[in-house]
Amino acid sequence: MLKFLSIRDFVIVSSLELEFSTGFTALTGETGAGKSILIDALSLALGERGDATMVRAGCERAEIAAEFDANATMQAWLDAQDLAGDDGVCLLRRVLDAGGRSRGFINGRSATLQQLREAGEQLLDIHGQHAHQSLLRPDAQRLLLDSYAGLDSEAAQVAALYKDWQALQRRRIALGENAETVVAERELLQFQCDELSGLNFNASDWQTLQADYERLAHAASLLETAEFGVETLSEADSSCLAQLNALTVRVRDGLAHDAALADPLQMLESAQAELQEAVYALRHYQQRLETDPARLHEQEQRIQNVLDAARKHRVAPEQLDEVLQRGRARLAELGGDADSAELEKQEQAAHKIYLHTAKKLSAARQKSATKLSEEITAAMQTLAMQGGTFAVALLPLAEGNAHGLESIELQVAANPGVPPRSLAKVASGGELSRISLAIQVATSRIASVPTLIFDEVDSGIGGRVAEIVGVLLKQLGKHYQVMCVTHLPQVAARADQQWQVSKAVEQGVTLSHITVLDAPQRVAEIARMLGGATITDTTRKHAAEMLSLTA
């Protein structure tokens, strides 16, 4: 439930801190006092879009912070999003600056608007005064029933199965309509794949192949270089090693007469060893270097084949392996000559699974549709629509679609003896508003969120109907935290607690305030709602009587 709300410099609110209770809370006040500002502030904290006009004039930023209890489901979501704070607490915060930029936070950590919205969907439901307009949309009517029946996952499964079936159907049709094209494409792909496979080539071998070719192509020159090195270092009459050995002997002899020759001698001996190692290495290189014209020609031909294939497919040689894999994948997709029959079998099997699952969904929908129809019909009798009936109709579809084997249509008969017809065609504006409230009450009873807010959904009704609305909201308050922005004294009198929203000019600036009313203040506010500008003793007595009867 919502525990605490802090509002700073939002529209005409300077500073406001509110602690919330369980049960049913009514928000009342004169027209234009800003009763819906609380709803707007909460909506902003829950991820709704905001703009610079929401920042109070002359201020740098608006800030909204809302603290909620977090149940086990909400806590699991916070943990998964790495947004957990204190156990059992979810703190949402939104900052909106005068330039229109905003930032969101959950438990003190930066959060996206999407994350704020996802959190809000689990914490609070807001029913606006124009919510009934969405009831005229077919998709909203279907979602209403599925949500009421708890069939969201089943409906998603049916949609996925329908998608799979349709994909197989499209493939089968395309295969039949383009058989000649498919055969030609398959033959071309098979030829290309065979040709690329015959290269026995992969990208990792390309560098090795080029290196081998370079070595074989210059083998004669490399041998000459090795032979020249061995001759120069050790085999010629005046070879480097022979001259270095003679010099080393003389320096060693001179060391007996001057110790300063020790370092030069050490360097000469090291050079002597290094040159000898070089001779051994060159001789080993001579032994393993091959001059194989036949192999050279073979490598040269392989390289040319790879380059030709790369030009043909307009890719770099290193990408030929990818071309081959794509070709094989496309061949597998096209299949063989027998795949048309196999594809038809797969399509039939997918259709069978879809129908089986969709029929189960239809049965579950029908059961819940009957129950929901009865609940809303019963609620209509108390909302000045005696004798009227409501029906959630399942209209069969010949082939079915992604949403199942039927379309969902909300139907109503406002008067007895008249068959129900589409809600969009028969309900007047006032009737639609009352039906909407009945639907909201019926579906709110199975709401998964702990807090429900109604924003003037009682607009356009009065008298006995208004009393019934108050009773319905009070009943909801026994199971949920319920708040309602209302202008009807019959509704406000049923509340467990009442807040008054007022507006005043302070130092030339219009500001909005919210006061938690005690018992005498509630009598005065209910009297104002009953009597308008002139409040008499009779009006106050009537207000006190209303409150005593609903206590």
> For the residues of 335-361, what is the DSSP string, one character each?
--TTHHHHHHHHHHHHHHHHHHHHHHH
500 vs 490: CA distance, rounded Å: 15
190 vs 185: CA distance, rounded Å: 8
Q: What pLDDT does residue 338 have? A: 47
Q: Where along the chain do its domains lie?
A: 186-334
Residue 91 is inside which H or E element, if any? strand 89-97
Dihedral sign from CA coordinates of 288, 289, 294, 296: positive
Backbone angles phi, psi at 208, to 5 degrees: -65, -40
Strand partners, 511: 504
Pairing of strands 61-69, 89-97: antiparallel
> For the residues of 394-460, what is the DSSP string, one character each?
EEEEEEEETTEEEEEEEEEESSTTS--EEHHHH--HHHHHHHHHHHHHHHHTT-SSSEEEEESTTTT
CA dist list (Å): 469 to 208, 256, 473, 485: 84, 122, 6, 13
Structure tokens at 516: 């938690």
What is the amino acid identity at position 498? Answer: Q
Structure tokens at 490: 């019959």
Using DSSP's 3-state secondary structure scheme, residue 35 falls into: coil
Strand partners, 24: 482
414 vs 411: CA distance, rounded Å: 10
> How wide is the angle at C-alpha 377 spanned by C-alphas 373 and 378, nearest 5°?
120
CB 25 within 8 A of CB 19: no
What does pTM read for this prediction? 0.59
CA dist list (Å): 102 to 9, 106, 118: 14, 14, 17
120 vs 443: CA distance, rounded Å: 18
Structure tokens at 349: 């099997």
Alpha helices (runs of H) in 239-338, residue ranges in sequence order: 240-255, 262-288, 293-313, 320-334
Strand partners, 509: 506
**Per residue of the chain (551 residues), what is the pLDDT tens digit?**
899 999 999 988 888 899 999 999 999 988 777 777 888 899 999 998 888 889 998 899 999 999 999 888 888 999 999 998 888 899 999 999 998 899 999 999 999 999 999 998 888 887 765 555 667 788 888 988 998 898 999 999 999 999 999 999 888 887 776 666 777 777 888 888 888 777 777 666 766 665 665 555 555 566 667 667 777 877 777 778 878 887 888 888 888 887 888 888 888 888 888 888 887 887 776 666 665 555 555 666 676 676 777 788 787 777 777 887 888 888 777 765 546 778 889 999 999 999 999 999 999 999 999 999 998 898 888 777 788 899 999 999 988 999 999 999 999 887 788 888 888 776 565 567 677 777 877 777 666 678 888 876 666 677 778 888 888 888 888 888 999 888 899 999 999 999 998 888 877 777 888 889 999 999 999 999 888 667 888 888 999 998 887 76
3-state helix, strand, coil in the chain (%, to 5): 60, 20, 20
Strand partners, 485: 27, 455
